[in-house]
Amino acid sequence: MPWQIYITLIGLILLIDLYVFQGVKTLIRSLQRRTRRIINGLFWGISIYFILAFSFYKLAGPSMISSGVQRWTAVFFFIIYVSKLPTMLFLLADDFIRLVKWLMHRQVAKRSQSESKQISRSQFLAKISMITATVPVATLGFGIVSGAYDYRLRKKNVIIKNLPKAFDGIRIGQLSDIHSGSFFNKTAVQKGIDMMQNEKPDIFVFTGDLVNNETSEVKEYKSMFGKLHAPLGAFSTTGNHDYGDYRRWPSVAAKKKNFEDLKLVHKEMGWDLLMNEHRILKVDGDELAILGIENWGTGRFSKYGNLAKAYLHTDEIPAKVLLSHDPSHWDAQVRPSYPNIDLTLAGHTHGFQFGIEIGNFKWSPSQYAYTQWADLYQEGDQQLYVNRGFGFIGYPGRVGILPEVTILELVRA
């Protein structure tokens, strides 16, 4: 974090807290003096904690702070300051009203004694602002306690035009975006794994982001996820977080070793990691191609994938399923250049871990960043399924867009 950003961040914390504190003072001024002191101490104590935490992070460096402390400090900072935004809006509205009244009073030549007095901050707006501030705290808190591991089994039939007869009814189990470095409840994670195992899919696939930043994150969970197998094979691919691109490494060699270790973990779990390659599945003489590429995403995301290499020598295979972590790859390369790829399986978006899903209605901020962000999409004879993700990153919870275990049944047209 450059010094300019650090100073700006500390300045913003102080400005927000000074402004919101005016509303807090208004709300608690009728309370006993001791109670007011306790509330004031808690308010400024939290602010001081964040300032000291960011200062220590800046001076000592991230290596001196455990990843758990870093993660939870960031989470609480996010929740607390998001909750202060509606408070600021109400207080700004009150200040705006006061300004308008003051300007109007200046136009009046003769004011009454009551009008000449300074207009006090509205008790009503102060109370409403404080009540409103509890809504994001309660919502985001509930998302951590309840939503983070509230796995949902989602089943879809996928009609494929050229699907060979032997593969009619084949079931693919998909997980995506495990992000093992974010987990804080192994028992809950096991329930999601059990959900997949109980479905007994014919093929198991994982579409990237096994970790957040480092391969070491998956150590405690390797044996758990290693139980996910299927009769026709378990196949996986990499996501943008698997390469260690989002942290500093002491050397290029250290980063390279981290990625090699990650590939080894896939092998140890019994997952066939497809690195711009394919596998041909054969059942009763019929064939189905499973293609898998390294991460490829539009915009700022890494483009390690090579679809041409993975597709090579699969022209004669009647049906093809592609594993590609980032759904933006579908519109960018798959549909325009590879019309014979029938089904693409992706993840990456997490549905932003926040939104609304009621029946067929879906909304999430994710839809403003990704054309395809959750569930099944179709253009012509090609289809894309975007998994909402098994894990989470950043905010350790989910609100509305819940973690998913997917079963896709291939159906012959």
Band of the pLDDT at 10, cuts 50, 70, 90? Answer: confident
End-to-end CA distance of the chain: 55
Asked whether the beta carbons of 411 and 160 are under 8 A apart, the reply is yes
- The strand ranges marked E within 336-381 are 343-346, 356-358, 361-363, 375-379
CATH of domain 150-412: 3.60.21.10
Judge whether 28 and 42 are in contact, CB under 8 Å: no
pLDDT above 80 for 67: no
Which part of the chain has CATH 3.60.21.10? Answer: 150-412
Q: pLDDT category, 116, cuts 50, 70, 90?
A: very low
Lowest-pLDDT range of 48-57, 142-151, 168-177, 377-386: 48-57
Q: Percent of the chain having pLDDT more than 70? A: 83
pLDDT at 63: 62
DSSP 245: T
More confident of the two residues 28 and 123:
28
8 A C-beta contact, residue 391 and residue 403: yes
Quote the pLDDT of residue 110.
Answer: 45
Can you give the pLDDT at residue 115? Answer: 43
Which pLDDT value is given to residue 143? 81
- Average pLDDT rounded to a whole number, residues 130-148: 72
Please tell me which residue, 397 or 208, carries the higher pLDDT value: 208
- What's the chain's average pLDDT? 87
C-alpha to C-alpha distance for 316 and 332, rounded to whole angstroms:
24
Q: How many CA atoms lie within 13 A of 66 on its CB side?
A: 4
pLDDT tens for residues 94-109?
Answer: 666 666 666 666 655 4
pLDDT category at 25 given cuts 50, 70, 90 is confident
Q: By mean pLDDT, which of 27-31, 233-237, 302-306, 408-412 is the weakest? A: 27-31
| Model confidence band, residue 135 (pLDDT cutoffs 50, 70, 90) | low
What pLDDT does 124 receive? 56
Question: What pLDDT is recorded for position 94?
Answer: 62
pLDDT of residue 20: 79
Mean pLDDT value across residues 37-42: 89
Q: Region 211-240: what's the mean pLDDT?
A: 97
pLDDT at site 229: 97
This prediction has a pTM of 0.77
